[in-house]
Amino acid sequence: MRVIRSLVLLLACVWTAAGAWAQTAGSTTRWDALLVVFDQPTPRPGVRSIEVHRQGDGTLSGTLTSDWYGAMAMSNLVADEGELRFDVRNINVPGVPTRRWRATSTAAGLLLEGGVWDSEVKQVGRPATPAEVAALRPAEVPLPPLRKVAPDGLAATPPMGWSSWNAFAERIDDRKVRAMADAMVATGLRDAGYVYINIDDGWQGTRGPDGALRPNAKFPDMAALAAYVHGKGLKLGLYSSPGLKTCAGYVGSYGHVEQDARTFAGWGIDYLKYDLCSGEWQYADAERVQRAYYQMGAALKATGRPIVFSLCEYGRFDVAAWGRDVGGHLWRTTGDITDDYARMSDIGFERNPKFGHAGPGGWNDPDMLEVGNGGMSPDEYRTHTTLWAMSAAPLIMGHDLRATTPAALALLSNRAVLAVDQDRLGRQGRAVRRDGNGEVWTRPLADGSFAVALFNRGPVGAQITIRPLDVGLTRFAVIRDLWADRTVAASARAFAVPAHGARLLRIRGR
């Protein structure tokens, strides 16, 4: 008996040294036939299972299955001393293309430790059957080949409306959306041109047995909500993602793209923001991102309902160059705006201007407005509005419309400023001159006049000078100060601009 036990122990040591299996207090892990599920994974990326096999050539290969990213392949697997170590691809961290993970045999079960991007994983799993692990694997869904979506005449000027995200994030429900539609009308903002009421992330529930996406309990009847919004002379927008999960962790359209497009159209939706989110993992190169957006663009078109398609992939892979071709009417050029001057001005002055191609039917989107949310001074919000109007940017408000202050209303509903944003020529303005903290931006308008914006990015007031040559003229005939709503002398050249402030002129030449 003793001889047999010694033999078994000896064999175990040999196997352990070879990295095939390891023994720890109370549990035995065979690294070359590992099947473990995690009943309580960390929320992101939500690793549900780990499986490792020995391949024909003797090497180990393995996969993690996660709620966010589906199958995550392991590489460089090394098994020894009760521990398996491996690499997993990483995202969004320059210079860190992979992360090293490890799985350790413990008395409580298999301890898995690793991370992707900004989420860390530390969780314990239990041995599972092949059937249990297989059931957790999401089906790999191929993308369609890339084709072009024909132009449809929507968004001839940049879309105007409101979105729930900046003010409310996930704190949204049917009642609040109806209240926003009411406030859009009561404030006069609808009549100023803001027509979209967009529900951002957080409306989704689960899929039904037929695979159809259903709203969560906060949105009992999406079609009725759309009818209510339409009854106010407004349009309704929704939000989804090409990935398995949206950015806030709700179910995405992965594997259900055409079905979701039909569901949205059936509810009477007029606008879809399609946010890359967890799709960053699956669609990690230009070709796959384009195909993923094309798939939804084509699916929306196939519904026959006119639906504005808002691409949100943060400006990756030169999106402005192909956004229209995949059916997009606007495309985000940056990461998220926040309600502060530093971020707003970095997006508006530095990032968004790098993108060309804007014009009728397709617009560079530097993200939603923060006007009315309180994080910037009145002059900074004036800069925000002026910069977006000069950029032919979509004007999607992001504050609680019920609490619109007179100051915010004045900024958001100035008809002369909105006319610059909505000018039918659709040419995006640009900086023609930078002088210290001062910037002069110009934008040619359809009637032959020019919008000229003077920005002071510095912390103290300054004089900023304009020249007829800034817009290719020899002299000015009429200068209208749009925020002040008055005509100034055609000979005026130097304008006082407050710290972080802006002036906006509409100029005719001779």
Which alpha helices (DSSP H) does 356-405 contain, by range? 378-390
**Residue nearer to ligand GLA on the CB measure, 398 or 429:** 398
Tell me the closest approach of the beta carbon of residue 332 to ligand GLA, in angstroms.
Answer: 7
Instruction: Compute how many other C-beta atoms are within 10 angstroms of the C-beta atom of residue 7.
Output: 10
Binding mask 3-22 for ligand GLA (x = CB under 6 A): --------------------
Considering the candidates 152, 182, 336, 346, report the single residue annotated as catalytic.
Answer: 336
Minimum distance from CB of 251 to ligand GLA (Å)? 13
Find the shortest distance in angstroms from Cβ 249 to ligand GLA.
8
346 flagged as catalytic = no
- Identify which of residues 101 and 293 has a Cβ nearer to ligand GLA in the complex: 293
Nearer to ligand GLA, 60 or 337 (CB): 337
For the segment 306-335, give every residue that binds ligand GLA (CB under 6 A). Answer: 312
Task: Pick between residue 173 and residue 201 the one whose CB is nearest to ligand GLA.
Answer: 201
Regarding 179 and contact with ligand GLA (CB under 6 A), the answer is no
The CA–CA distances, whole Å, from 183 to 186, 225, 239, 280, 400 equal 5, 15, 21, 36, 9
Please check whether residue 83 is in contact with residue 103, taking contact to mean a CB–CB distance below 8 angstroms.
Answer: yes
Shortest separation between residue 130's beta carbon and ligand GLA, angstroms: 35
Query: Could you give the CA distance from residue 308 to residue 318 in angstroms, rounded to a whole number?
Result: 20
One of 275, 325, 339, 400 is an active-site residue; which one?
A: 275
Q: Which is nearer to ligand GLA, 337 or 504 (CB)?
A: 337
Contact status, residue 114 vs residue 102, Cβ threshold 8 Å: yes
Query: At its nearest, how many Å lie between ligand GLA and the CB of residue 466?
Result: 35
Pick the binder of ligand GLA from 247, 261, 320, 471 (CB under 6 A). 247
Site for ligand GLA, residues 464 to 503, rule: CB under 6 A:
none
Pick from 101, 162, 165, 322 the residue near ligand GLA by CB under 6 A. 165
The reply to whether 275 belongs to the active site is yes
Give the nearer residue to ligand GLA in terms of CB position, either 200 or 270. 200
Contact characters 268-307, ligand GLA, x per CB under 6 A: -------x--------------------------------
Pairing of strands 494-497, 438-444: unpaired
Helix, coil or strand: residue 314: coil
Name the burial class of residue 214, with classes exposed (0-12), middle (13-18) and buried (19+) by CB atoms within 10 angstroms of its CB.
middle
Q: Rounded to whole angstroms, how far apart are CA atoms 510 and 508?
A: 7
**CB of 70 within 8 A of CB of 89?**
no
- The distance from CA 189 to its chain's CA centroid, rounded to whole angstroms, is 25
Supply the minimum distance, in Å, between the C-beta of residue 61 and ligand GLA.
Answer: 34
- Residue nearer to ligand GLA on the CB measure, 333 or 414: 333
List beta partners, residue 392.
none
Instruction: Judge if the upstream peptide bond of residue 158 is cis by omega within 30 degrees of 0.
Output: no
Q: Are 161 and 195 in contact (CB under 8 A)?
A: yes
Residues 6+ apart with CB under 8 A from 257: 242, 295, 296, 299
Residue 400 is a binding residue for ligand GLA (CB under 6 A)? no
The whole-angstrom separation of Cα 289 and Cα 332 is: 14
Pairing of β 395-397 and β 160-163: parallel
Member of 51, 67, 173, 200 binding ligand GLA (CB under 6 A): 200
Say whether residue 172 binds ligand GLA (CB under 6 A).
no
Q: Are strands 271-275 and 235-240 parallel, antiparallel or unpaired?
A: parallel
Give me 447's structure tokens: 């009637």
Among the listed ranges 104-112, 135-143, 227-235, 241-249, the one in contact with ligand GLA (CB under 6 A) is 241-249
Of the listed pieces 72-80, 107-115, 240-248, 371-379, which binds ligand GLA according to CB under 6 A?
A: 240-248
Q: Do the strands 395-397 and 476-481 form a parallel or antiparallel pair, or are they unpaired?
A: unpaired
Q: Does 203 bind ligand GLA (CB under 6 A)?
A: no
Residue 444, strand partner residues = 450
Pairing mode, strands 486-488 and 330-332: unpaired
248 binds ligand GLA (CB under 6 A): yes
91 binds ligand GLA (CB under 6 A): no
Q: Is residue 336 a contact point for ligand GLA (CB under 6 A)?
A: yes
Residues of the shown chain interacting with ligand GLA in the complex, contacts defined by CB under 6 A: 165, 200-201, 246-248, 275, 312, 336
Instruction: List active site positions.
Output: 275, 336
